[in-house]
Amino acid sequence: MSRCCSRDYNSRHPPRAALRPARRHFVPRRSLRWRPGPGSEGPAALRAGGSRRPPPAPRRAWAAPPPVHGLEAAAGAMDLRTAVYNAARDGKLKLLQKLLGSRSREELEALTAGPGGGGGPGAGSTPLLIAARHGHLEVVEYLLDHCGARVEEGGSVSFDGETIEGAPPLWAASAAGHLGVVRSLLDHGASVNQTTLTNSTPLRAACFDGHLEIVRYLVGERGADLEVANRHGHTCLMISCYKGHREIARYLLEKGADVNRRSVKGNTALHDCAESGSLEILQLLLRSKARMEKDGYGMTPLLAASVTGHTNIVEYLIQGGLQQDEAAGSQSGSHQRGCSEEGCEGCGASASGQDEIPNVFCTREAAVEALELLGATFVDKKRDLLGAHKYWRRAMELRCEGGKYLPKPEPRQLVLAYDYSREVSSLEELEALITDPDEMRMQALLIRERILGPSHPDTSYYIRYRGAVYADSGNFERCINLWKYALDMQQGNLEPLSPMTASSFLSFAELYSYVLQDRSKGTLATHLGFSDLIGVLSKGVREVERALVHGKDPVADSAQFTKTLAIILHLVFLLEKVECTPEQEHQKRQTIYRLLKCSPRAKNGFTLLHMAVDKDTTTVGRYPVGKFPSLHVVNLLLECGADPDSRDYDNNTPLHVAARNNCPLIMSALMEAGAHMDATNAFKQTAYELLDEKLLTKSTMQPFNYITLQCLAARALDKHKIPYKGFIPEELEAFIELH
């Protein structure tokens, strides 16, 4: 899947949906193609950019209208607001009239406003919004005319299993294709350009699913703005081109949509069209003077089509482009690939206004690269080696055409991850490849890295993919080498805390866990040493350091930061299973000390020690790695200088978290390290009070052995509200506040 198949793609060229070769265990899961900065989102998100919250579980609607005199009693377990919401959702006008008919204006306002349902159905939504979503016109008009529902109040609404936040009723009706509801909402004063939280308009929502009549109505009769883009700069024309809605794209162009508008990451409607494979729309755009421009990654629409494997687009652009190149002759001597100046004869941006489809300028070098990249796509995405060989042969013949050989750039150095392979440079070498499938796969990786560059997400993704295939066949050494190379590439080019980088760390943790478990059973001969684990752990610490140095806000990125820290703790967990020399033990502790020195904070203000004693740290991916709480990890963190009395945002110490997780053994270790058993959290609870009573009877832990007279005095001051600030040294004030 490409970046545009969600309702609000994140950024240019995100990873596509997972390639699924025969139930492979280690093939990396692939989210929607993301543009760095962000996460992956599913089909519902591109329409508006909703959150990843799953849709609320459906609750049974009322089976029959209750008698008017017993409405509250008939609602039973459902409160009245939920009953109103369910009736609006199901289009039950008569029931809704009975529920709301005798209510005062104040009651009506409370019952029709959001959020409804209090955490159940309709949480974050309104009756009007859900009625508009499902096309219940009579309910919509009743809520507006008789109940005073606010026509522009937004909320959460589900599409394709995902939740769109801040969606107004008009947006929901447009997205669902309910023209009658759209008319009614606009007649009642809804703003035609009102957006969701991610700046998606009702027009964009209609363009996504191809609702042409609604598009015509919004633009032609209501004057909707064609150029309002979502938060990523993605316009209505762009999404229409990507989704293959030719008539909508044609209509928007007739109404003056900017065919060369660029998104935040620099892509145009031509890029979207090339990635979706719609040749007819691409021709339509070219007739409208669309220019062949590069995006933020240096990708032309031609290369975008090669990356996604749309041979029809590639062939069309190459054929027309080479003809234009030959016709230009010496006049195009100074013309550079990617020129976008208006009136330039070489790029199809002619201002002559001719009706015929303009040829697109394409140098021989650009055509060669497109064919080579298309061959790489056939290897890794389509798994068609013969098809790949065909396109590589065409590219090689084009390199040699006319007696002027286009040499490939010399590689800076041969790479261990690629088994020291180098690109073929002659037809003879290319023909020899057909007998060596493994070498063909290395050629695909080399070609992709040369053409797309290391900063393009596809480059590192397919390196990881190839490594995963090796792992599935039992060749873990090749897998690890490829994954290390990809991780270095990601850390050198992607922003800190990138989801792709976190995915690489998780893959390492899952692989190492699998290898160590099988080695302990004696079923695997692969050697996994200290250097393998410490190398990845060091890179994980570096990722945390990069995030903090580059000013990443751990609060704003709390989910991603928390996941990264959890994966690092799993690597520490695995490292404890590997035998170390004294020098290696020192290196391990030095690395953990580096991490602790960063003072990273996860969700809720958890320190690493909080996370090490929390069972929620156990789950980081699809497959089990380490198990938490972990006494070994706790002891190692304490030995490396972790503060046993550190506090989270609710003033919980690691002892409190360990108590909630019913781990008296870990609590004893924390108290041995100096943790205060009588320290209280924001709710004035000690860790001992949080421990399960059944465990207290079985535990041999003696908490009073760790309580001093100083602790008792501090608690007495707090209990009796005796003023002490300013009367005692500051360090004692901090000690009292701890209690």
Per-residue pLDDT at 25: 55
> pLDDT tier at 75 (50, 70, 90 boundaries)?
very low
Per-residue pLDDT at 122: 47
Per-residue pLDDT at 636: 97
Q: What is the mean pLDDT of residues 543-563?
A: 82
Q: Which of 17-21, 369-373, 617-621, 697-701 has the lowest mean pLDDT?
A: 17-21
DSSP one-letter string for 711-730: HHHHHHHHHTT---TTTS-H
Establish whether the linkage from the previous residue to 629 is cis, with ω within 30° of 0: yes
pLDDT greater at residue 516 or residue 307: 307
CA distance 310 to 281: 14
Give the contacts of 233 (CB within 8 A, at least 6 positions apart): 261, 262, 263, 264, 265
Per-residue pLDDT at 288: 95
Whether 72 shows a pLDDT value over 50: the answer reads: no
**In 3D, which of 188, 256, 191 has the Cα closest to residue 220?**
256
pLDDT in tens, 423-435: 999 999 999 999 9
pLDDT in tens, 116-126: 444 444 458 99
> pLDDT tier at 696 (50, 70, 90 boundaries)?
low
pLDDT greater at residue 521 or residue 148: 148
Per-residue pLDDT at 677: 82
Whether 337 shows a pLDDT value over 70: the answer reads: no
What domains lie within the chain, and their CATH numbers? 54-197 (1.25.40.20)
pLDDT in tens, 572-599: 999 999 999 999 999 999 999 999 999 9
Whether 739 shows a pLDDT value over 70: the answer reads: no
Backbone angles phi, psi at 433, to 5 degrees: -65, -30
**pLDDT more than 70, % of the chain:** 76
Per-residue pLDDT at 294: 94
The tokens describing 256, both together, are 């003056």
- SS3 at position 520: helix
Whether 319 shows a pLDDT value over 90: the answer reads: no
Contact between 637 and 612 (Cβ < 8 Å): yes
Whether 17 shows a pLDDT value over 80: the answer reads: no
Per-residue pLDDT at 664: 87
**In 3D, which of 54, 55, 123, 128 has the Cα closest to residue 88?**
128
Whether 328 shows a pLDDT value over 70: the answer reads: no
Q: Which of 203-212, 319-328, 362-371 has the lowest mean pLDDT?
A: 319-328
DSSP alpha helix (H) spans, 221-310: 236-243, 246-254, 269-276, 279-287, 301-308
Whether 14 shows a pLDDT value over 80: the answer reads: no
> pLDDT tier at 26 (50, 70, 90 boundaries)?
low
Per-residue pLDDT at 279: 95
Give the contacts of 555 (CB within 8 A, at least 6 positions apart): none
Q: What is the mean pLDDT of residues 254-272?
A: 97
> pLDDT tier at 97 (50, 70, 90 boundaries)?
very high
> pLDDT tier at 329 (50, 70, 90 boundaries)?
low
The H-or-E segment that residue 738 falls in is: helix 730-738
> pLDDT tier at 15 (50, 70, 90 boundaries)?
very low
Per-residue pLDDT at 19: 35
> pLDDT tier at 684 (50, 70, 90 boundaries)?
confident
Per-residue pLDDT at 10: 41
Whether 698 shows a pLDDT value over 90: the answer reads: no
On average, the pLDDT of the chain sits at 83
Whether 83 shows a pLDDT value over 60: the answer reads: yes
Whether 315 shows a pLDDT value over 70: the answer reads: yes
Pairing of strands 155-159, 162-167: antiparallel
> pLDDT tier at 692 (50, 70, 90 boundaries)?
confident
Whether 341 shows a pLDDT value over 60: the answer reads: no
The tokens describing 594, both together, are 């580096």
Per-residue pLDDT at 549: 87
> pLDDT tier at 327 (50, 70, 90 boundaries)?
low
**pLDDT more than 90, % of the chain:** 63
pLDDT greater at residue 701 or residue 547: 547
pLDDT greater at residue 40 or residue 612: 612
Residue 361 carries which DSSP code? P
pLDDT in tens, 618-662: 999 988 899 999 999 999 999 999 999 999 999 999 999 999 999
pLDDT greater at residue 679 or residue 652: 652
pLDDT in tens, 182-202: 999 999 999 999 999 999 999
pLDDT greater at residue 256 or residue 702: 256
Per-residue pLDDT at 736: 64
Per-residue pLDDT at 76: 41
DSSP one-letter string for 13-67: S---SPP--TT-SSSPP--S---SS-----HHHHHH---SPPPPPP-PPPSSPPP
Whether 359 shows a pLDDT value over 60: the answer reads: no
pLDDT in tens, 27-42: 665 543 333 333 333 4
pLDDT greater at residue 363 or residue 354: 363
